[in-house]
A and B are shown apart, each in its own frame.
Chain A
Amino acid sequence: MGPLVQPFLDNEFLQRALFGGVAVALACAVVGTFVVLRGLAFIGDALAHGVLPGVALAVLVGMPGLAGAALGAAAMIGGVSLLTRRSQLSADTAIGLLFVGMLALGVVMVSRSNSFTGDLVRILFGELLGISQADLAVQAIATVVVVAVTLLLSRPFLLLCVDPEQADVAGFASTRYHVIMLVVVAATVIVSFQTVGTLLVFGMLLAPAGAGALVARRISSMMLIAAAIGSVSVYLGLLASYHFDLAAGASVVLVAVALFFVTFAAASGRDTHRSAGTPRTVMPT
């Protein structure tokens, strides 16, 4: 068991990476469930990159990175809802446009800085192995808040997944809860960028929850499966990164995506078996 546990006992930075990563995984499991079920992957991706110019601005003027990221996400959500409301353009066109624009703006701004590649790589891929005590505290608080808000609003969020009209008819204004859901996604992305980076937080949002969606029969179990897969990915990714000297954040996300495909293979195998055994129609998914 030595090589599986010892690195975490010997290295405080690995412990912090593990705790921070698991906190990210838990927030992403809960929020990612709704990203997957509501088909918000594209806006999630756009948010993950939309924060780049905000973070770059923060780096340039010496603000906290979090504030910059929040600014970028707010601009992104505001721009998308303005474009979709005031024009006949579909949401994915609006999202795509702002996504590319914000990404380009971010790169242009970062290119003004002296350590161009270093900054960019740090923003995109995070510094899982360089998390401070303060980062850890922020991440833990954010995870608690995000999970609490999602659980408190589980009824309107569930109805939104089924059909926004159902939410309206049940007395939960669909537009209001849609915006709240986007803000929760944004908050997760913003806080997680310091840990796993803006690019990789997206993988943590999609892969564990996607795997959960393949096998779960209830939304609560989907969240639990996603949390387990995400946490295991953090652990295995860090371990691989330590032993083989790999980029930590990318290793974690790679494990998560690999686990998704393992789940996918297992689930399709099981479904084939099941439909062969019983006469009941199994819907292809």
Chain B
Amino acid sequence: MNAAQPAAPGGLAVHATGLAIGYQGVSLVAGIEIGLPPGEVLALVGSNGSGKTTLLKTLVSLLVPLEGQLEVLSRVVGPHRHRRPARPAATLAYLSQFHLERSALPLRARDVVRMSRFARHGLWGRLRQADHDAVARAMQRMDVDHLADMSLRSLSGGQRQRVYLAQVLAAEADLLLLDEPTAGLDAPGHERYEQAVADETARGAAVVVATHDIAEAARADQVMLLAQRVVAYGAAVAVLMPDNLLETFGMVLRSVDGGLLRTGDDHGHDHAAGTHRPA
């Protein structure tokens, strides 16, 4: 990917120093440093409860930073500790893990994708041709354009995940924050997603993705390993080392044919998750 973006001072998509994150004033992970330039992918890797989602929610201003400095798209986030987060930037798109599984919502797939254009137009601004084009393009990219008029509740889980990904793409955002985007995707869906991320970074967008998929992390420009603390952060090749992964997951993963494979379980899990409380 495009590592040589001209990163002017303050031109980082995400810039965090000494950042502490958590819920309701209780710190989950402290001492986070991030410098993510436009056009690069940062993969957040860790087991459940390691802080990936908390970090994403902090980046998207749903949670308030507990300590440190955080700039997202050159806007300072926080430090109004007990106040509502500031109005988030319109050029930011977030795919949450929230799923409308049992909802009775009468929405067509197209309506779901279209919602991501509301941020640009506020309460009453009319959606223009450019918006409808962006929606159509995004649905084509995730190969769900033929489902556009289908009711969301008649789609399978994987089809719905593609629709949610199309929603994120339709935002044409400068920063994409994706929480386990490949959950439920089949192999063709996976390919579409990878191509989409490549295209988004090629046009200069930065991507932060929380994933369990080591192979996806290996393709990212930067990787952060999380286990209720930052185990390692840096270039993917430097971070995805067996020792680090052992600390993160409590198991060793070894490179096989260019991929990584789990080879054994270790007693290190408690070590990683429990005893190292952030200062």
Contact mask for chain B residues 64-107; partner A; CB cutoff 8 A; 1 contact, 0 none: 00000000000000000000110110101110101010011111
Q: Which residues of B contact A212 (CB under 8 A)?
A: 106
Q: When the two chains form their complex, are residues B115 and A170 in contact, meaning their CB atoms are under 8 A apart?
A: yes
Which residue of chain A lies nearest to B160 when distances are taken between CB atoms in the complex?
A: A283
Q: Which residues of A contact B57 (CB under 8 A)?
A: 165
Residue from the list B96, B98, B123 in contact with A153, Cβ < 8 A: B123
Q: When the two chains form their complex, are residues A156 and B96 in contact, meaning their CB atoms are under 8 A apart?
A: no
Q: Which residues of A contact B118 (CB under 8 A)?
A: 155, 159, 170, 172
Q: When the two chains form their complex, are residues A168 and B106 in contact, meaning their CB atoms are under 8 A apart?
A: no
Give A175-209 interface residues, CB cut-off 8 Å to B.
Answer: 175
Question: Measured between alpha carbons, how far is A152 from B123 in the docked complex, in Å?
Answer: 7
- Does B45 touch A at the CB level, under 8 Å? no
Question: Measured between alpha carbons, how far is A281 from B147 in the docked complex, in Å?
Answer: 14
Question: Measured between alpha carbons, how far is A156 from B124 in the docked complex, in Å?
Answer: 10
- The 6 A-B residue pairs whose C-beta atoms are closest, nearest first, are A170-B119, A216-B106, A217-B151, A213-B104, A169-B94, A163-B98
Q: Which residues of B contact A169 (CB under 8 A)?
A: 60-62, 88, 92-94, 119
**B residues bordering A, Cβ < 8 Å?**
57, 60-62, 84-85, 87-88, 90, 92-94, 96, 98, 100, 103-108, 111-112, 115-116, 118-119, 122-124, 151, 153-156
- Does A37 touch B at the CB level, under 8 Å? yes
Question: Measured between alpha carbons, how far is A280 from B90 in the docked complex, in Å?
Answer: 37
Give A13-63 interface residues, CB cut-off 8 Å to B.
Answer: 36-37
Question: Measured between alpha carbons, how far is A168 from B92 in the docked complex, in Å?
Answer: 12
What is the distance, in angstroms, from B89's C-beta to the closest C-beta of chain A?
8
Q: When the two chains form their complex, are residues A218 and B115 in contact, meaning their CB atoms are under 8 A apart?
A: no
Question: Measured between alpha carbons, how far is A222 from B104 in the docked complex, in Å?
Answer: 11
What is the distance, in angstroms, from B247's C-beta to the closest C-beta of chain A?
31
Q: Which residues of B contact A171 (CB under 8 A)?
A: 87-88, 90, 119, 122
Q: When the two chains form their complex, are residues B124 and A285 in contact, meaning their CB atoms are under 8 A apart?
A: no
Contact mask for chain A residues 242-285; partner B; CB cutoff 8 A; 1 contact, 0 none: 00000000000000000000000000000000000000111101
Chain B CB within 10 A, most for which of A168, A216, A280: A168
Chain B CB within 10 A, most for which of A219, A280, A283: A283
Chain A CB within 10 A, most for which of B98, B123, B155: B123
> Can you add 14 more A-B contacts, CB < 8 Å, to A161-B105, A216-B106?
A37-B105, A152-B123, A153-B123, A165-B96, A168-B88, A169-B61, A169-B92, A171-B88, A172-B118, A217-B106, A217-B108, A217-B151, A218-B108, A283-B155
Residue from the list B92, B115, B154, B155 in contact with A159, Cβ < 8 A: B115
In the complex, 14 of the A-B residue pairs with CB atoms within 8 angstroms, ordered by the A residue number, are A37-B103, A37-B105, A162-B107, A163-B98, A166-B96, A166-B98, A168-B61, A169-B60, A170-B118, A171-B119, A172-B118, A281-B156, A283-B153, A283-B154
Q: When the two chains form their complex, are residues A165 and B98 in contact, meaning their CB atoms are under 8 A apart?
A: yes
What is the distance, in angstroms, from B128's C-beta to the closest C-beta of chain A?
15
What is the distance, in angstroms, from B207's C-beta to the closest C-beta of chain A?
16
Which residue of chain A lies nearest to B102 when distances are taken between CB atoms in the complex?
A: A285
Residue from the list B84, B93, B100 in contact with A162, Cβ < 8 A: B100
Q: Which residues of A contact B85 (CB under 8 A)?
A: 168
- Does A67 touch B at the CB level, under 8 Å? no
- Does A173 touch B at the CB level, under 8 Å? yes
Q: What's the dominant secondary structure at chain A's contact region? A: helix
Given A36-B104, A281-B156: A168 touches B96 (CB 8 Å cut-off): no
- Does A105 touch B at the CB level, under 8 Å? no
Given A168-B62, A285-B153: A175 touches B115 (CB 8 Å cut-off): no
Q: Which residues of B contact A93 (CB under 8 A)?
A: none
What is the distance, in angstroms, from B191's C-beta to the closest C-beta of chain A?
22
Q: Which residues of A contact B111 (CB under 8 A)?
A: 218-219
- Does A158 touch B at the CB level, under 8 Å? yes
Chain A CB within 10 A, most for which of B90, B111, B118, B119: B118
Question: Measured between alpha carbons, how far is A212 from B88 in the docked complex, in Å?
Answer: 34
What is the distance, in angstroms, from B264's C-beta to the closest C-beta of chain A?
38
Q: When the two chains form their complex, are residues B154 and A37 in contact, meaning their CB atoms are under 8 A apart?
A: no
Question: Measured between alpha carbons, how far is A280 from B156 in the docked complex, in Å?
Answer: 9
Question: Measured between alpha carbons, how far is A159 from B85 in the docked complex, in Å?
Answer: 18
Q: Which residues of B contact A221 (CB under 8 A)?
A: 106
